[in-house]
């Protein structure tokens, strides 16, 4: 990795604790007759491309971040510009397609930001077991940490085609849930707050693991940033 690239990745400190909302805040808002048009951007990663080795290899991480995640950011920006143009032209003929693109790219951007933020180098912030409030909540809702991991891994491995697996918090009954996500936006309930996600699109693991998604999922536990997930739970309960 070049010094320039490493400097870029650590610029602005990456994703600081509690920065999810800020990380997704778009910049350069500009008032316009068709409504405010904003520009979403690819935020700095909180670690270098090779920091998650050997669980996630540097080539996979760089491609995933600079090409796949970037494509969702670009798609989100293009969709919002197209919607603004449609309003300005008073032309809603493409609203169904634009609505679908809005959900796909917007959710794709959001989930990748969360994914990067809940990982850390193995043995240096990543791995181990949850502690404190999060550990107690997992034990209450799943029976044990091991039972939770078993369910989360099974759900991750069995996502049909491209998707994610998420640990959510549901405020209504103070409960954690594990749910699959297809693509970025399907199978999504509306009364939950995502705390932790694993990307199981093939682009997240195929270079290193080929079709062995199960090997990637089991290895992924060694990069989970439990303090961050715990902080996400504390924020969700406020």
The distance of closest approach from Cβ of residue 72 to Fe ion in the complex, given in angstroms and rounded to an integer, is 8
Burial level of 194, CB count in 10 A (0-12/13-18/19+)? buried
The distance of closest approach from Cβ of residue 46 to Fe ion in the complex, given in angstroms and rounded to an integer, is 17
The distance of closest approach from Cβ of residue 199 to Fe ion in the complex, given in angstroms and rounded to an integer, is 4
Residue closer to Fe ion by CB (options 201, 226) is 201
The contact pattern for Fe ion, residues 66-95, with x = CB under 5 A and - = no contact, is --x---------------------------
Residue closer to Fe ion by CB (options 112, 168) is 112
**Which pair of structure tokens corresponds to residue 197?**
């996600």
Residue closer to Fe ion by CB (options 70, 145) is 70
**Main-chain dihedrals φ then ψ at residue 214, nearest 5 degrees:** -60, -35
Rounded-to-integer distance, Cα 17 and Cα 3, Å: 25
The contact pattern for Fe ion, residues 192-211, with x = CB under 5 A and - = no contact, is -------x-x----------
Which residues, 126 to 165, sit near Fe ion by CB under 5 A? none
The distance of closest approach from Cβ of residue 183 to Fe ion in the complex, given in angstroms and rounded to an integer, is 11
The distance of closest approach from Cβ of residue 64 to Fe ion in the complex, given in angstroms and rounded to an integer, is 6
The distance of closest approach from Cβ of residue 170 to Fe ion in the complex, given in angstroms and rounded to an integer, is 25
Region at 59 (left for phi over 0; alpha for psi -120 to 50; beta for the rest): alpha
Residue closer to Fe ion by CB (options 199, 222) is 199
What is the number of other CB atoms lying within 10 angstroms of the CB of residue 210? 11
Residue nearest to Fe ion (CB): 199
In DSSP notation, 25-84 reads: --EEEE--TT--EEE--PPPPSS-TTTTTTTS-HHHHHHIIIIIIHHHHHHHHHHHHHHH
- Select from 5-13, 63-71, 83-91, 179-187 the region that touches Fe ion (CB under 5 A): 63-71
Helix or strand or coil: residue 187? Answer: coil
CB of 178 closer than 8 Å to CB of 156: no
Number of residues interacting with Fe ion: please give it, by CB under 5 A. Answer: 3
Rounded-to-integer distance, Cα 148 and Cα 25, Å: 32
Which residues, 160 to 199, sit near Fe ion by CB under 5 A? 199
Beta bridge partners of 119: 224
Binding site for Fe ion (CB under 5 A): 68, 199, 201
């Amino acid at each position: 990795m070049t010094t320039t690239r490493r400097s870029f990745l650590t610029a602005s400190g990456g994703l600081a604790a509690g920065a999810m909302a800020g990380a997704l805040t778009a910049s350069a808002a500009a008032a316009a007759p068709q409504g405010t048009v904003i520009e979403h951007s690819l935020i700095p990663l909180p670690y270098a491309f090779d920091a998650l080795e050997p669980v996630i290899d540097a080539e996979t991480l760089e491609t995933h971040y600079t090409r796949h995640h970037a494509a969702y950011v670009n798609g989100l920006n293009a969709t919002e510009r197209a919607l603004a143009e449609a309003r300005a032209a008073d032309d809603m003929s493409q609203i169904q397609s634009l609505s679908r693109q809005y959900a796909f790219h917007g959710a794709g951007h959001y989930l990748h930001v969360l994914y990067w933020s809940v990982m850390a180098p193995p043995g240096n912030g990543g791995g181990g077991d949850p502690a404190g409030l999060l550990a107690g909540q997992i034990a209450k809702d799943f029976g044990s940490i091991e039972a939770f991991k078993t369910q989360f891994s099974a759900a991750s491995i069995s996502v049909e085609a491209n998707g994610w697996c998420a640990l959510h918090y549901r405020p209504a009954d103070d409960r954690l849930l594990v749910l699959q996500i297809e693509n970025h936006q399907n199978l999504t309930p509306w009364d939950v707050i995502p705390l932790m996600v694993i990307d199981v699109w093939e682009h997240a693991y195929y270079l290193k693991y080929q079709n062995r998604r199960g090997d990637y999922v089991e290895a992924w536990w060694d990069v989970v940033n439990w303090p961050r997930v715990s902080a996400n739970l504390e924020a969700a309960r406020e």
